[in-house]
């Protein structure tokens, strides 16, 4: 027998369905959010079609537009009218489609993105010989290749020029790599050593040991370094002359001819002429470039390698700090402390620290670690660099310490849970066999609790990797001049500032002058961060579940 | 088991001792490690408190030295240089004496050129940090000098050499061409100089010297403009020209204040004349507060009132009395601090009181001498005072008063700031100019924090609690195994990503599809109920294929359809109901301002972030309700919904409540989402279409730029401490509730 609608409502069934809807909504949101990031983040690297359009401008003139379609939306006519546009031409419709066209050529036309109204596109086409160039400055260039020149001499024109471009680009890339090594590694090392010499000299002065011999020795070393520097500088100049040899002439959408030196070109491709195989190869190359290259143009182009590196370094240091302390504190609370009201209180306090806003830790880190500890360390150990601070300024070490403090409750809680799941019988068995408490702990309890510790550390790492607010106060910068790890002794520079994926997202998405251009990169960065964190969490969850299963079998 | 070799465990007592030693060492190490971690955690609280405490410290002052000043009765002006090491005394003979403040030793003396046959009658100092002072002579001329302290560092030791400079030349300048005596004088300097003289009888002479346009940098001369006029004020106590050189104030001894506009010397005119004291109360002294926007008037009854220009309903600026301060004794002299909105008042009983205008209170009063005070100087850093009494005794005192602007009322109450039309809650910690009045009201930030948390909870509570109920009570175990980790992943998502999506994706989407969102809110529950009814009507053999507990999976397409439909009809709805532009409609028709990054966006993004927190705790609480309770209820004939509402939810309600508390704790402290999804303007407006600034976002924005140990730095630490305490208390409360609940379950 079926109930009627009233009876059905009275039975509470609709409520159950509404409750179910809440779960579905939450699931849709999570999955949708991950999907949104994935699609936007991964889609960016795919070589999308280059359109060649005839477009009717608001003043009635027809203009040629060349570009990629970056975004599309539907807008009501009223909003367009509100924005001061003439909408008479579109007739009696509620809304029209608008396209965001990335036209590139920022050096030629001043702006590289423009919204256009789809009904005003008179014709559109994807000619195969349209070339897209990724450049080291001014963003992308779209247009037709006209000729290629070597030192001003014409080499080839039109189609032949395109075929000539490939090998010459490869040559430029080789030279660019060499220049990078020269600038960053070799000259960088000399600069670093020169700075060390200056500090040595200052230290001698401060200690009153600046004897003429000592100073002369320093001066001699300085001379040597400067000689090496001059030699490298000469070498570098020669490379720069080489890289500037070739240039191509491009024709932009307005018909302007622009000469672009090959030195400024990172990549050249003809998206409309590429097959699926070519596109896949291009896609993978771009993806690899994204994770392995340095950022360019105020972080809106290029890769995010320093941010990945900085995040990993910071997280590694943090886990080195947090693991022993977290585990020891948990062992103390569970195995050694007398289980009374005080221990219970401490346990609650530790638990709640996980809920204290992360920015509070940042404030503490800045005040206590950076200004107090760092300031005193500088006074004691680095007086020669003063007034320039060494550790008295935000840096990698303080960031790791702050995050270690932030995540130590996570490790304590997880380890304690693991310890509490170990049956008493196992401890008692060990003690009954004559083992001391320390031996019991070391040989039986800790090995059994190790997966729980792992879980705790993984969760801590996942939390630390995604945390941004405290880092903004204690060491993250938008662009770090040098990695915290390099070939100059002592190789790891704990006092340096570093870049971080999460902060990169905030900075590029919200502080950058060209948000439209940066948006896809932010999505890609976000995707990377999400992937890392989801993977870490899934690992932690699976370890924990396996652990629970194991103890369930132990218990019975 | 094989028998162990008899000797091995007991081979030597050395081995045993080593083992026991190791045991002890481990115990000791673990204990030390554990305690140190706990101490480190405690340290956070203590350190925050340690930084904040100086805000609450009461100021103090102590005598450093006292000595006699020769020919003290002639002195007209005292001042000190930056370090308060050297003091300057100017007297009626035109003598400038530089003395060491700590022992009264004279360092050097400069005799100013006083014109033949004239004497010094008037005196004035410009903005205190300019060092410019002027002497008015009885022949209508005035001499402008600048007190300059040159610092040099021979042998790494600071040596300060005081000197007198003459910015307008060593010759006195003519203020009144007819030679009327300048009995009262006022000067201000910026690039140009304005000097006003008042002659007994009411003649006012205004002189403005502007630098001549000249190609050569140093050789520019001065062009002089002069004008004069009359005021009907009989005897004036003070003549004041503000630093902008546009306004002139005359303060009569009878308490009448006349305000003249002198921005254009050809059209000077009286703007307002009013009584600033109660009837028959004489005025003792009047000074500008630092910045020259406020006038302080000290009257004979020991009251000090603060006045500044406020726009009235017609938009006309009028002088208004803002607040009053009381003193215990008659006041003889007032001195403003150089950079802060504080001032000192010297009394006729020899007492000095320190006030702060923004904080609206007297901080300190101390008797520095027994005789009435005649002149008072405060050092530029406001850390020392130099007072001359009627008996010629000079007192040098140190002041410790680092954070006068902070009081309970200035942090949490409404304050009437300079330039505002009414008292308001304002957070504005810094500005470009030096005379800025810092506005440290935490109220708008606390309000913003609670507002953000409120909208987040509005979004999160229904979804998470309803979801938790279904997951814990109705969901099929296999699906639950899938749902729980998904929600846990949701909790781990970095908030910077949520904030980025909220700011760059959700905010523009909501702005363009606002009607769609409201349609979604109505459509979704309706469609869900409709779908459920349809499911109910479907043939049993069909519905039976999907076991109970998978409703949530069935509803996914329904919800997706409802969402898509709402967004698709959004433009149509907008056209029909809102004239095609809903944000514009809100603005024009309803008068509701619309920010793209508003509370709605924050509520959704932060709601998303707190859903998992509430969900997992509430789900735990519901799931662990003992089975025999529900079985009993079902066995007595209740439907599963009745059992849920009457038994399960009732039992689990403390757990659910504790989950909500944890959620609030998380929402209150969340930083990145609000930082990225709002405009971060500290407004006090409950509207869902407006943004806010929260305590945490404010810390993130301002902390890197704040100067260590400044008031701003400490107030930011206070904000962090407030956040810390708030979340700590909330979380502890939630935890205690949960433990009680656990005990209850285990006893059931």
Would A236 be classed as within a structural domain?
no
**Cα separation of the two ends of chain A:** 47
Whether the CB-CB separation of B437 and B417 falls below 8 Å is answered with yes
Show the beta-strand stretches assigned E in B200-316. Answer: 203-211, 222-230, 236-241, 247-252, 256-261, 269-275, 283-288, 295-299, 303-311
The answer for A 499-518 residues in CB contact with B (under 8 A) is 502-503, 505-506, 509-510, 515
Interface contact A522-B732, CB threshold 8 A:
no
pLDDT at residue B6 in the model? 47
Q: How far is B337 from chain A (nearest CA, A)?
A: 29
Please check whether residues A346 and A268 belong to one and the same domain.
no
CATH number of the domain encompassing residue A465: 1.10.3720.10
Residues of chain B with pLDDT below 50 are: 1-7
Please check whether residues A260 and A402 belong to one and the same domain.
no
Give B-chain residues touching A73 at CB under 8 angstroms: 512
Task: Name the residue in chain A with its Cα closest to that of B524.
Answer: A21
Please check whether residues A269 and A372 belong to one and the same domain.
no
Write a three-state SS string for B126-180: CCHHHCEEEEEECCCEEEEEEEEEEEECHHHCCEEEEEEECCCCCCCEECCCCCC
Task: Name the residue in chain A with its Cα closest to that of B582.
Answer: A79
Would A299 be classed as within a structural domain?
no
Chain A / chain B CB contacts < 8 angstroms: 341
Domain count, chain A: 2
Whether the CB-CB separation of A530 and A37 falls below 8 Å is answered with yes
Give B-chain residues touching A30 at CB under 8 angstroms: 486-487, 489-490
pLDDT in tens, B508-521: 888 888 888 888 88
Would A472 be classed as within a structural domain?
yes
- The torsion angle over the Cα atoms of residues B726, B729, B734 and B738, rounded to 10 degrees, is 160
Nearest Cα neighbor of B721 from A474, A469, A354, A357 is A357
Give B-chain residues touching A526 at CB under 8 angstroms: 497, 500-501
Task: Name the residue in chain A with its Cα closest to that of B709.
Answer: A367
- The torsion angle over the Cα atoms of residues B723, B728, B731 and B737, rounded to 10 degrees, is -140
Q: How far is A231 from chain B (nearest CA, A)?
A: 40
Q: Is B432 helix (H, G, I), strand (E, B) or coil?
A: coil
Interface contact B33-A19, CB threshold 8 A:
no
Q: How far is B150 from chain A (nearest CA, A)?
A: 23
Whether A38 and chain B come into contact, CB under 8 Å, resolves to: no
Give B-chain residues touching A359 at CB under 8 angstroms: 669, 671, 696, 699-700, 720, 723
Q: Is B314 helix (H, G, I), strand (E, B) or coil?
A: coil
Please check whether residues A427 and A281 belong to one and the same domain.
no
Please check whether residues A435 and A517 belong to one and the same domain.
yes
Give A-chain residues touching B529 at CB under 8 angstroms: 14, 17-18
Identify which of B615, B720, B730 has the shortest CB distance to residue A363.
B720
Please check whether residues A524 and A410 belong to one and the same domain.
yes
- The torsion angle over the Cα atoms of residues B657, B663, B666 and B672, rounded to 10 degrees, is -170
- How many Å apart are CA B18 and CA A205, to the nearest integer? 51
Would A217 be classed as within a structural domain?
no
pLDDT at residue B465 in the model? 93
Would A293 be classed as within a structural domain?
no
pLDDT in tens, A383-416: 777 777 878 888 899 999 999 999 999 899 889 8
Whether A118 and chain B come into contact, CB under 8 Å, resolves to: no
Please state, as a whole number, how many other Cβ atoms lie within 10 Å of the Cβ of residue B512: 21
- How many Å apart are CA B515 and CA B579, to the nearest integer? 12
Q: How far is CA A530 from CA A463, B482, B544, in A?
A: 11, 19, 39
Preferred mutation among B494, B581, B596, B648 to probe A, highest tally of A CBs within 10 A = B494
Give B-chain residues touching A410 at CB under 8 angstroms: none
Interface contact A437-B26, CB threshold 8 A:
yes
Q: Which residues contact B121 (CB under 8 A, 6 or more apart)?
A: B136, B137, B138, B181, B182, B183
Higher-scoring residue by pLDDT: A517, B298: B298
- How many Å apart are CA B194 and CA B580, to the nearest integer? 58
pLDDT at residue B458 in the model? 93
Q: Which residues contact B346 (CB under 8 A, 6 or more apart)?
A: B331, B332, B333, B334, B335, B352, B373, B374, B375, B376, B387
- How many Å apart are CA B602 and CA B676, to the nearest integer? 9
Q: Does the pLDDT at position A123 exceed 80?
A: yes
Whether the CB-CB separation of B564 and B514 falls below 8 Å is answered with no
Q: Which residues contact A154 (CB under 8 A, 6 or more apart)?
A: A147, A148
Q: What is the token pair recorded at A481? A: 């001049």
Whether the CB-CB separation of A190 and A225 falls below 8 Å is answered with yes
- How many Å apart are CA B205 and CA A252, to the nearest integer? 70
Whether the CB-CB separation of A404 and A368 falls below 8 Å is answered with no
Task: Name the residue in chain A with its Cα closest to that of B463.
Answer: A22
Please check whether residues A275 and A416 belong to one and the same domain.
no
pLDDT at residue B1 in the model? 40
Q: How far is A364 from chain B (nearest CA, A)?
A: 6
Give A-chain residues touching B699 at CB under 8 angstroms: 359, 362-363
pLDDT at residue B430 in the model? 76
- The torsion angle over the Cα atoms of residues A166, A172, A173 and A179, rounded to 10 degrees, is 180
| ipTM of the modeled complex | 0.88
Whether A487 and chain B come into contact, CB under 8 Å, resolves to: no
- How many Å apart are CA B505 and CA A41, to the nearest integer? 13
pLDDT in tens, A72-104: 888 888 778 877 777 777 777 778 888 888 888
Would A17 be classed as within a structural domain?
no
Radius of gyration of chain A (CA): 31
Give A-chain residues touching B556 at CB under 8 angstroms: 24, 27-28
Q: How far is B651 from chain A (nearest CA, A)?
A: 19
Task: Name the residue in chain A with its Cα closest to that of B475.
Answer: A20
Identify which of A16, A74, A437 has the shortest CB distance to residue B641.
A16
Nearest Cα neighbor of B160 from B90, B95, B85, B79 is B85
Q: Phi and psi at residue B375, in whole multiples of 5°?
A: -135, 150
Interface contact B537-A2, CB threshold 8 A:
yes
DSSP label at residue B690: S
Q: Measure the CA angle with vertex A364, ends A358 and A370; round to 5°.
A: 120
Please check whether residues A356 and A395 belong to one and the same domain.
yes
Residue-number span of the structural domain to which A425 is assigned: 305-555
Identify which of B580, B728, B735 has the shortest CB distance to residue A79.
B580
Q: How far is CA A130 from CA A253, A261, A272, in A?
A: 10, 18, 7
Would A232 be classed as within a structural domain?
no
Domains of chain B: 61-78+277-426 (2.130.10.10), 114-275 (no CATH), 445-747 (1.10.3720)
Whether the CB-CB separation of B174 and B140 falls below 8 Å is answered with yes
H or E stretch at A247: strand A246-251
One-character DSSP codes across A349-371:
HHHHHTTS-HHHHHHHIIIIIII
Interface contact B552-A534, CB threshold 8 A:
no
Identify which of B575, B671, B708 has the shortest CB distance to residue A94.
B575
pLDDT at residue A280 in the model? 92
One-character DSSP codes across A105-145:
-HHHHS-SEEEEEGGGEEEEE--TTEEEEEESSS--EEEEE
Q: How far is CA A30 from CA A25, B404, B457, in A?
A: 9, 50, 18
pLDDT at residue A363 in the model? 93
Q: What is the token pair recorded at B220? A: 């520019």
Report the relative pairing of strands B384-389 and B86-91 from DSSP bridges: unpaired
Q: What is the token pair recorded at B126? A: 């410009």
Q: Strand B373-378: give its sheet, edge to edge.
A: B60-68, B393-400, B384-389, B373-378
Interface contact B529-A17, CB threshold 8 A:
yes
Nearest Cα neighbor of B535 from A19, A24, A17 is A17
Paired strand residues for B92: none
Would A180 be classed as within a structural domain?
no
Report the relative pairing of strands B427-428 and A257-261 from DSSP bridges: unpaired
pLDDT in tens, A10-65: 888 888 888 899 999 999 999 999 999 999 888 888 888 888 888 888 888 888 88
Interface contact B494-A335, CB threshold 8 A:
no
Q: Phi and psi at residue B439, in whole multiples of 5°?
A: -115, 100
Task: Report the half-sphere exposure of A64 (CA within 13 A, side-chain side).
Answer: 13
Show the beta-strand stretches assigned E in A252-371. Answer: 257-261, 265-269, 295-296, 301-302
pLDDT in tens, A268-302: 888 888 889 999 999 999 899 888 888 887 777 88
Q: What is chain B's mean pLDDT, rounded?
A: 86
Please check whether residues A444 and A498 belong to one and the same domain.
yes
Please check whether residues A339 and A269 belong to one and the same domain.
no
Nearest Cα neighbor of B253 from B239, B234, B270 is B234
- How many Å apart are CA B378 and CA B389, to the nearest integer? 15
Q: Length of chain A, please?
A: 556
Identify which of B551, B708, B735 has the shortest CB distance to residue A20.
B551
Please check whether residues A258 and A331 belong to one and the same domain.
no
Please state, as a whole number, how many other Cβ atoms lie within 10 Å of the Cβ of residue B426: 18
Q: How far is A360 from chain B (nearest CA, A)?
A: 5
Alpha carbon B23 to its chain's center:
55
Please check whether residues A437 and A323 belong to one and the same domain.
yes
- How many Å apart are CA B517 and CA A404, to the nearest integer? 41
Give B-chain residues touching A336 at CB under 8 angstroms: 27, 30-31, 34
- How many Å apart are CA B13 and CA B19, to the nearest integer? 10
Interface contact B727-A355, CB threshold 8 A:
yes
Q: Phi and psi at residue A135, in whole multiples of 5°?
A: -115, 160
């Amino acid at each position: 027998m079926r109930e009627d609608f009233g009876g059905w409502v009275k039975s509470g069934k609709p409520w159950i369905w509404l409750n179910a809807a809440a779960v579905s909504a939450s699931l849709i949101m999570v999955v949708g959010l991950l999907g949104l990031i994935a699609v936007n983040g991964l889609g960016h690297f795919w070589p999308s079609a280059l359109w060649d359009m005839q477009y009717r401008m608001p003043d009635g003139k027809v203009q040629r537009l060349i570009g990629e379609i970056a975004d599309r939306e539907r807008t009501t006519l009223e909003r367009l009218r509100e924005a001061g546009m003439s909408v008479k031409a579109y007739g009696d419709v509620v809304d029209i489609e608008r396209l965001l066209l990335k036209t590139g050529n920022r050096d030629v036309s001043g702006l590289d993105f423009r919204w256009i109204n789809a009904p005003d596109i008179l014709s559109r086409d994807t000619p195969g010989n349209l070339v897209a160039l990724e450049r080291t400055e001014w963003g992308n260039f779209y247009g037709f290749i006209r000729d290629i020149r070597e030192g001003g001499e014409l080499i080839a024109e039109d189609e032949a020029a395109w075929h000539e471009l490939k090998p010459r680009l490869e040559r430029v890339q080789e030279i660019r790599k060499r220049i990078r090594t020269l600038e960053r590694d070799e000259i960088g090392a000399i600069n670093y050593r020169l700075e060390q010499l200056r500090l040595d000299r200052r230290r001698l002065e401060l200690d009153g040991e600046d004897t003429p011999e000592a100073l002369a020795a320093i001066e001699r070393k300085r001379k040597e370094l400067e000689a090496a520097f001059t030699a490298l500088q000469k070498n570098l100049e020669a490379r720069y002359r080489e890289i500037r040899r070739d240039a191509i002439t491009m024709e932009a959408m307005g018909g302007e001819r622009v000469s672009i030196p090959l030195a400024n070109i990172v990549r050249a491709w003809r998206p409309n002429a590429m097959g699926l195989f070519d596109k896949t190869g291009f896609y993978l190359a771009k993806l690899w470039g994204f994770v392995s290259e340095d950022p360019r143009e105020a972080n809106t182009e290029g890769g995010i390698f320093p941010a990945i590196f900085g995040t990993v370094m910071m997280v590694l240091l943090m886990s080195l700090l947090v693991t022993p302390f977290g585990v020891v504190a948990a062992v103390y609370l569970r195995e050694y402390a007398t289980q009374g009201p005080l221990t219970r209180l401490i346990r609650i306090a530790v638990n709640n620290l996980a809920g204290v806003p992360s920015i509070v830790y940042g404030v503490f880190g800045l005040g206590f670690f950076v200004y107090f500890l760092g300031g005193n360390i500088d006074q004691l150990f680095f007086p020669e660099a003063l007034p320039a601070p060494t550790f008295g300024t935000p840096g990698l070490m303080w960031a790791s310490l702050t995050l270690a403090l932030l995540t130590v409750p996570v490790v304590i809680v997880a380890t304690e849970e693991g310890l509490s799941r170990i049956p008493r019988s196992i401890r008692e068995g060990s003690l009954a066999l004559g083992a001391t408490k320390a031996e019991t702990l070391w040989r039986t309890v800790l090995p059994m609790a190790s997966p729980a510790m792992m879980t705790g550390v993984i969760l801590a790492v996942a939390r630390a990797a995604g945390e941004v607010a405290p880092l903004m106060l204690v060491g993250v910068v938008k662009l770090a001049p040098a990695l915290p790890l390099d070939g100059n002794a002592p190789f790891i520079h704990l006092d340096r500032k570093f870049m971080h994926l999460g902060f990169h997202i905030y900075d590029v998405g919200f502080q950058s002058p060209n948000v439209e251009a940066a948006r896809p990169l932010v999505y890609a960065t976000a995707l990377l961060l999400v992937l890392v964190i989801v993977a870490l969490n899934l690992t932690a969850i699976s370890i924990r579940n396996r652990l629970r299963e194991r103890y369930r079998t132990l218990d019975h | 088991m094989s028998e162990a070799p008899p000797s091995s465990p007991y081979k030597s007592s050395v081995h045993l001792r080593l083992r026991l030693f190791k045991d002890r060492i481990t115990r000791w190490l673990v204990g030390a490690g554990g305690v140190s971690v706990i101490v480190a955690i405690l340290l956070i609280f203590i350190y925050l408190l340690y930084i904040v405490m100086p805000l609450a410290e009461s100021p103090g002052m102590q005598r450093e030295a006292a000595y006699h000043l020769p020919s003290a009765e002639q002195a007209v002006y005292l001042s000190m240089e930056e370090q308060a090491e050297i003091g300057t005394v100017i007297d009626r003979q035109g003598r400038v004496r530089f003395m060491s403040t700590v022992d009264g030793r004279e360092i050097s003396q400069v005799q100013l050129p006083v014109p033949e046959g004239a004497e010094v009658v008037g005196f004035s100092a410009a903005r205190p940090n300019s060092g410019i002072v002027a002497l008015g002579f009885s022949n209508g001329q005035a001499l402008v000098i600048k007190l300059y302290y040159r610092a040099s560092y021979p042998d790494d030791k600071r040596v300060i050499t005081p000197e007198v400079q003459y910015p307008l030349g060593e010759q006195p300048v003519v203020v009144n061409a007819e030679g009327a005596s300048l009995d009262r004088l006022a000067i201000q300097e910026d690039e140009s100089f304005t000097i006003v003289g008042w002659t007994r009888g009411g003649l006012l002479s205004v002189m403005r010297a502007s630098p001549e346009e000249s190609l050569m940098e140093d050789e520019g001369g001065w062009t002089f403009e002069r004008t004069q006029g009359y005021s009907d004020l009989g005897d004036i106590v003070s003549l004041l020209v503000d630093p902008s050189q546009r306004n002139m104030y005359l303060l009569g001894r009878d308490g009448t204040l006349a305000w003249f506009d002198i921005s254009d010397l050809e059209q000077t005119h009286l703007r307002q004349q009013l009584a600033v004291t109660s009837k028959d109360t004489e005025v003792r002294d009047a000074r500008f507060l630092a910045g020259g926007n406020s006038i302080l008037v000290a009257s004979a009854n020991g009251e000090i009132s603060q006045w500044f220009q406020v726009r009235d309903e017609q938009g006309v600026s009028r002088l208004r009395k803002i607040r009053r301060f009381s003193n215990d004794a008659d006041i003889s002299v007032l001195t403003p601090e150089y950079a802060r909105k504080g001032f000192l008042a010297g009394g006729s009983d020899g007492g000095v009181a320190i006030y702060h205008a923004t904080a609206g209170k007297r901080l300190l009063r101390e008797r520095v001498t027994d005789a009435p005070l005649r002149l008072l100087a405060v050092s530029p850093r406001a850390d020392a005072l130099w007072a001359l009494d009627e008996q010629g005794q000079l007192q040098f005192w140190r002041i410790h008063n680092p954070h006068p602007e902070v009081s309970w009322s200035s942090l949490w109450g409404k304050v009437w700031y300079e330039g505002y039309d009414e008292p308001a809650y304002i957070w504005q910690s810094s500005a470009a100019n030096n005379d800025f009045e810092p506005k440290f009201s935490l109220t708008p930030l606390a309000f913003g924090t609670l507002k953000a948390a409120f909208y987040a909870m509005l979004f999160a509570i229904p979804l998470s609690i309803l979801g938790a109920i279904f997951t814990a009570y109705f969901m099929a175990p296999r699906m639950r195994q899938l749902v729980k980790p998904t929600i846990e992943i949701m909790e781990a998502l970095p908030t910077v990503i949520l904030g980025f999506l909220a700011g760059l994706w959700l905010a523009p989407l909501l702005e363009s599809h606002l009607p769609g969102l409201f349609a979604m809110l109505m459509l979704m529950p309706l469609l869900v109920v409709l779908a459920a009814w349809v499911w109910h009507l479907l043939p049993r053999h069909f519905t039976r294929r999907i076991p109970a507990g998978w409703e949530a999976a069935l509803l996914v397409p329904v919800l997706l359809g409802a969402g898509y439909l709402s967004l698709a009809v959004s433009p149509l709805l907008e056209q029909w109901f809102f004239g095609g532009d809903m944000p514009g409609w809100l603005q024009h028709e309803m008068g509701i301002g619309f920010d793209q990054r508003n509370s709605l966006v924050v509520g959704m993004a932060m709601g998303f972030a707190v859903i998992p927190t509430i969900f997992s705790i509430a789900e735990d609480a519901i799931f662990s309700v003992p089975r025999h309770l529900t079985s009993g209820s079902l066995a007595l004939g209740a439907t599963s919904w009745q059992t849920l509402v009457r038994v399960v939810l009732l039992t689990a309600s403390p757990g659910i409540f504790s989950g909500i508390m944890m959620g609030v704790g998380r929402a209150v402290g969340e930083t990145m989402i609000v930082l990225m999804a709002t405009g971060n303007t500290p407004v006090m407006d409950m509207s869902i279409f407006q943004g806010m600034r929260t305590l945490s976002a404010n810390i993130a924005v301002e902390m890197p730029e704040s100067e260590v140990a400044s008031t701003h730095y400490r107030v930011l630490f206070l904000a962090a401490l407030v956040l810390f305490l708030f979340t700590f208390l909330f979380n502890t409360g939630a935890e205690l509730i949960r433990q009680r609940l656990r005990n209850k379950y285990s006893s059931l």
